C-alpha cells in the first residue's frame, strides 16, 4: 500500500515535470506570437509550482513588453538573485532600470568594490560550492605531490599550488555563503506605485520625498503591519505604506 502511494506520488511529480515543460513551451510560443499577457499568466502559474530563474526572466520580459516596467524589474531582480551569473538577466534588469523615473543606481562605488561584487556575482551559491570542491581536490593532489615527489622543483611547485588551492577553497565557500545570503534575502523591495516617503509611519507624517515606481529600496524595519522603514542607496530613509511596495 505504502509502495503504491509512493509510486503515484512519483508519477504525479513526473507528470508535473512534463506538463511544466510543455506549459513553458506554450508560453514561449505565446510570447513569440506577441500575446504577452497570456504568456505571463502561464509563467506565473508555473512559478507557483516551482522556483526557477528562467521563468522569472521570461515573465519579466512579458511585463516589459506590456510596458509594466515595475513588474518587469521585480521579476528580473528575482531572476538575478537566483542565477547571478546570467548575463542576459543582468542586461535586461539594467535596461529596465533605465526606464524608471528615479535613477538611483548604486554603481558609482569605488571600482575595487564594484569589481569584487561582480566577481562574487559571477556564480550562484552552488556554482561557487562546486568550484570549492574542485579546489579542494587540487589541494589534496598537491599535498600528495609534496609528500611523495622526489625532485625538489616539483615539491616546490606542489607546495605553492597547495597553498593557492587552500585559499581558493576558503574564498569560494565565503562567496557561496554570500550568494546564499543574497538568494534568501528579503530585505529589498520594488516600489509598485509612486509613493510619498514620510518621516513617521502615518499619513500625517511629514512628507520627505517622492519615490516613483520601479525603484529598488532596502527595507530596514519591517516590524509594523502597514508601514515599513526603507532606505535608499544614497542614504535617505523614511516610512512608506507596505501595500505600495513588493518584496523581491
Q: Which residues bind other proteins (CB under 8 A)?
A: 16-17, 20-21, 24, 28, 31, 49-52, 54-55, 57-58, 61, 64, 88, 91-92, 94-96, 98-99, 101, 103, 107-108, 124-126, 128-129, 133, 136-137, 140, 143-144, 147-148, 176-177, 179-180, 183-184, 194
Q: Let me know how many helices (H) and strands (E) the chain has, helices first.
A: 8, 7
| Strand order from edge to edge, sheet including 188-191 | 207-211, 195-198, 237-241, 227-231, 216-221, 188-191, 245-247
- How far apart are CB 105 and other proteins at their closest, in Å? 8
Nearer Cβ to other proteins, position 2 or 87? 87
235: left (phi over 0), alpha (psi -120 to 50) or beta: left
- How far apart are CB 218 and other proteins at their closest, in Å? 21
Q: Give the angle 170-174-175 at the CA atoms, nearest 5°.
A: 120
The three three-digit cell numbers of residue 28, written as one number: 514561449
Nearer Cβ to other proteins, position 4 or 150? 150
Nearer Cβ to other proteins, position 16 or 157? 16
Nearer Cβ to other proteins, position 57 or 239? 57
Nearer Cβ to other proteins, position 180 or 188? 180
Exposure string for 187-220, b = 16+ CB within 10 A, e = fewer: ebbbbbeebbbbeebeeeeeeeeebebbbbbebe
- How far apart are CB 1 and other proteins at their closest, in Å? 27
- How far apart are CB 94 and other proteins at their closest, in Å? 6
- How far apart are CB 86 and other proteins at their closest, in Å? 9
Nearer Cβ to other proteins, position 15 or 221? 15
**Comparing C-alpha atoms, which of 36, 44, 42 is closest to residue 23?**
42
CB 227 within 8 A of CB 240: yes
- How far apart are CB 224 and other proteins at their closest, in Å? 23
Alpha-helical runs (H) found in 50-206: 53-65, 69-82, 87-97, 111-120, 125-148, 152-183
Amino acid at each position: 500500500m505504502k509502495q503504491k502511494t509512493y509510486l503515484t506520488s512519483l508519477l504525479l511529480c513526473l507528470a508535473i515535470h512534463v506538463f511544466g515543460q510543455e506549459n513553458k513551451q506554450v508560453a514561449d510560443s505565446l510570447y513569440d506570437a506577441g500575446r504577452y499577457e497570456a504568456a505571463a499568466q502561464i509563467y506565473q502559474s508555473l512559478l507557483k509550482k516551482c522556483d526557477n530563474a528562467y521563468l522569472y526572466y521570461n515573465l519579466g520580459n512579458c511585463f516589459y513588453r506590456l510596458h509594466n516596467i515595475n513588474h518587469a524589474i521585480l521579476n528580473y531582480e528575482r531572476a538575478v538573485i537566483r542565477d547571478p551569473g546570467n548575463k542576459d538577466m543582468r542586461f535586461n534588469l539594467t535596461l529596465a532600470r533605465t526606464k524608471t523615473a528615479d535613477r538611483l543606481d548604486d554603481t558609482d562605488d569605488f571600482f575595487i568594490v564594484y569589481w569584487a561584487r561582480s566577481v562574487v556575482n559571477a556564480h550562484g551559491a552552488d556554482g561557487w560550492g562546486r568550484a570549492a570542491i574542485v579546489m579542494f581536490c587540487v589541494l589534496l593532489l598537491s599535498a600528495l605531490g609534496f609528500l611523495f615527489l622526489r625532485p625538489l622543483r616539483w615539491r616546490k611547485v606542489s607546495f605553492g599550488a597547495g597553498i593557492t588551492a587552500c585559499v581558493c577553497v576558503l574564498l569560494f565557500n565565503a562567496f557561496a555563503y554570500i550568494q546564499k545570503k543574497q538568494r534568501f534575502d528579503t530585505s529589498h523591495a520594488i516600489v509598485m506605485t509612486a509613493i510619498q516617503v514620510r518621516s513617521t509611519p502615518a499619513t500625517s507624517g511629514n512628507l520627505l520625498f517622492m519615490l516613483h515606481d520601479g525603484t529598488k529600496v532596502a527595507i530596514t524595519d519591517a516590524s509594523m503591519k502597514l508601514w515599513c522603514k526603507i532606505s535608499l542607496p544614497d542614504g535617505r530613509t523614511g516610512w512608506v505604506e507596505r501595500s505600495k511596495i513588493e518584496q523581491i
